[in-house]
Amino acid sequence: MKTMTCQDLGGPCDLVHRGETADDIIKAQDQHLKDVVSRGDEAHVPAREEMKGRWRHPIKSMGWYNDVKKRFAELPEK
């Protein structure tokens, strides 16, 4: 199990996401952004818009995805 924060993934807060894979972490971040923005958290709106853009244009966003996977792989197990 490894951890990354919302901030590590481009968001504004220090909420910790835990997962076995980088994809687990990315999905947790996506859900976190959906949840907090739906509750009116304006600070997370830019990160949410960026994430939505990545889901819509996955080929274009491969740089961000590969960077997250690389950073995840370098993290120690917790």
Q: What is the pLDDT of residues 1-26, one digit of tens each?
A: 999 999 999 999 999 999 999 999 99
- 47 pLDDT band, cuts 50/70/90, is very high
Q: Model's pTM, two decimal places?
A: 0.90
Q: What is the pLDDT of residue 49?
A: 95
**Number of structural domains in the chain:** 1
Q: What is the pLDDT of residue 57?
A: 86
Q: With 90 as the cut, is the pLDDT of residue 29 above it?
A: yes
How far CA 43 is from CA of 10, 34, 35, 62, in Å, comes to 12, 12, 13, 25
Residue (of 23, 25, 21, 20) closest to 4 by Cα position: 25
Residue ranges making up the domain that contains 66: 2-74
Q: What is the pLDDT of residue 35?
A: 98
